[in-house]
Amino acid sequence: MKQVITTGISALAFAALLGGCAGSSGGSDTQNQANNVKTQHQNYDAKAFYETTSYFGSGFSHDGESILMGSDESGVFNVYSMDVKTGNKTQLTDSPDTSYPVSWFPKDKRVLFTKDSGGNERYHVYVLEQDGTVKDLTPGDETRASFRGFTKDGSAFFVTSNERDPKFNDLYRYDSKDYSRKLVFTNNAGYEVGDVGPKGHFVALGKTHSNRDSDVYILDLRKRGEPELISEHTEPANYMVEGFSVDGRSLYYGTDSKGEFSQIWQYDMPTGKHSQVLADDWDVTFIRFSDSGRYQVSGVNADASSKVSILDTKTGKPLALPPLPAGDIRAVRFSDDETQMAFYLNSDTSPSNLYVWSLGAPEARKLTEALNPAMDTAHLVPSEVVRFESFDGLDIPGLLYKPKQASADNPAPVMIWVHGGPGGQSRSGYNPTIQHLVNQGYGIFAINNRGSSGYGKTFFHLDDKQHGEGDLQDMVWGKAYLQGLDWVDDERIGIMGGSYGGYMTAAALAFEPETFKVGIDIFGVTNWVRTLNSIPPWWESFRKALYDEMGDPATDGERHRAISPLFHATNITKPLMVVQGANDPRVLQVESDELVEKVRENGVPVEYVLFEDEGHGFTKKVNRITASEAYLKFLQTHL
């Protein structure tokens, strides 16, 4: 269900909305040049980009014959089983609510999956029996639950749930046969369950103290003692659970305690010894192992791209992979017998496709075709990593997408794209919304402003309690950088983003009212006073870190009001689009309702798109198409 409300469009603008050409700036010479470009470039509508299918999940069944995956090919994400030999898929769930695969059972083809209701983020864990019946293992209207793994022998599995206390996640052990359960860890101190050991005896816990300091603990469930701290340190540093070793004797964890970037370390439980495992000039983001431990898979966030390494621990050498198309490897999983490896390949111009490789074979088999077959990748655009100097001399990175149609003779309008967060990062990889706008002639500059993750902890903390200040100026100076490019139309630069990026969009229009021509605010915070006082209860363990980042509403309310666009909406004079999900638990609908009302009072064109069946982020394909079409029409009208 969707509701689209549009106001403030003149008859002339409405005609442009229906027939306008993105990238056209008027004048017969320019129009002729644009038409000549169009003979070489194919434009696709939003539906074409979303006829692309999203796939994720690469877990093998116990017999190696099937892979458990999620797909939105039905229009809503549901759970599928794919036959490894044939590539044929069987749809396992058919829910109107987004359903995500969790795991096969270790010794049969029962399936665990998770879903919420209408985007409310209250996820439950379900079991799908082999006869097709479904059972909710975590009932309760307010329950939010998450799977935490099977024991090595498959006799039990673990689930966290906040049903006892909405603020904290307790740990339950479930019997794999009859689903009877036992509460094994009552969490009254705000721990986060990171991993459970292979025998189910030890639990790795994380605890956040601030946005720059956290700890890792190990709890022995066979004893009634307190969790043991294993990350003692004196200077602020973050420690994060990665997972137990295959033999259960050690725990891997990530930490930025040794420098700017996160490294992987190992804690040997019998001896108490800590040793470095992986370090890089970027954040090492994860480490995983195949069932026997022979293959080690690790990832690095290298300048906004994912770089995965696979090590054969038996030989100590990287696993020699077969020839593959260009792209980043993601979601590597091995079959139980370690003769097969499943993974995805993703790039800016190619959505994630699933591959299966029989180790040692000359080729890997591609099992999916995610891109709409009616589209040609030659008409899509890869990003370029660029950097510009901001107001204080700080280098700011970003991903720049130049439309095929753009040139010095045919300059293009550009939208600055702001990621979510605070503390998120725009990364390379296929994004249908970005590709749709670029294909239609709009440049996109995804700026990773100060405060973004991935560029070291110093860079990450530069915007602490300074939001709407230096980070906003990075956007302003990003515009100046764009104006120095000969293919950019200096006078047609706008700004857009979702969540925190939506806040930055509204803030840009309110606090820099003459800088950007238009803004598209996608479920963005407009009133920090309300937002920080109405965070979901399950964020309790991160509340202190959030307040370190944004400020405590009890003491920083005046500053929150000062940086909230809603209280300065009278300054907004440029056309604004607001997009919102009615079930959003993070940015409440009232935030967008109020901003729209106030900006309309200024006599400014405002378009409001409200999705009744979405939350914080749009999961249904029809809604994503509607949103992308709305972005384009708004820009054709106002930019």
First to last CA, the chain: 28
Q: Quick check: 241 and 251 in contact, CB under 8 A?
A: yes
Domain boundaries, the chain: 3-50+374-638
Q: Exposed (0-12), middle (13-18) or buried (19+): which is 604, by Cβ within 10 Å?
A: middle
> How far is residue 42's CA from residue 403's CA, in Å, rounded to a whole number?
12
Centroid of chain to Cα 584: 16
pTM above 0.75, yes or no: yes
Q: DSSP labels for 235-274?
A: S---EEEEEE-TTSSEEEEEE-TTSSS-EEEEEETTTTEE
Q: Quick check: 381 and 439 in contact, CB under 8 A?
A: yes
Each residue of 160-185: pLDDT tens digit? 999 999 999 999 999 999 999 999 99
The helix (run of H) or strand (run of E) holding residue 619 is: none
Residue 162's φ and ψ, nearest 5 degrees, are -105, 20
pLDDT of residue 552: 87
pLDDT of residue 421: 84
Each residue of 235-275: pLDDT tens digit? 999 999 999 999 999 999 999 999 999 999 999 999 999 99
Q: Quick check: 576 and 594 in contact, CB under 8 A?
A: no
CA angle in degrees (0–180, nearest 5) for 571-631-568: 15
Each residue of 14-52: pLDDT tens digit? 222 223 333 333 343 444 444 444 447 899 999 999 888
Query: Which of 451, 392, 442, 400 has the alpha carbon at shortest distance from 421?
Result: 451
Report the b/e string of 615-626 with b at 16+ CB within 10 A.
Answer: bbbbbbbbbbbb
Query: Which of 403, 401, 402 has the alpha carbon at shortest distance from 41?
Result: 403
CA angle in degrees (0–180, nearest 5) for 449-262-69: 85
Q: DSSP labels for 276-323?
A: EEE--SSEEEEEEE-TTS-EEEEEEEETTEEEEEEEETTTTEE--PPP
Which residues in the chain land under pLDDT 70?
Answer: 1-39
> How far is residue 530's CA from residue 276's CA, in Å, rounded to a whole number?
43
pLDDT of residue 174: 98
pLDDT of residue 579: 96
Q: Quick check: 445 and 388 in contact, CB under 8 A?
A: no
For residue 28, what are its two tokens?
A: 């017969």
Q: Quick check: 544 and 207 in contact, CB under 8 A?
A: no
- Range list of H helices, 343-442: 432-439
> How far is residue 589's CA from residue 584's CA, in Å, rounded to a whole number?
7
The domain 3-50+374-638: what is its CATH number? 3.40.50.1820
Q: Quick check: 472 and 462 in contact, CB under 8 A?
A: no
CA distances from 7 to 82, 446, 600, 602 (A): 47, 29, 9, 13
Bridge partners (DSSP) of residue 444 are 401, 415
Question: Three-class SS of residue 502?
Answer: helix
Each residue of 562-597: pLDDT tens digit? 999 999 999 999 999 999 999 988 888 999 999 999
Residue 213's φ and ψ, nearest 5 degrees, are -150, 125
Bridge partners (DSSP) of residue 158 are 173
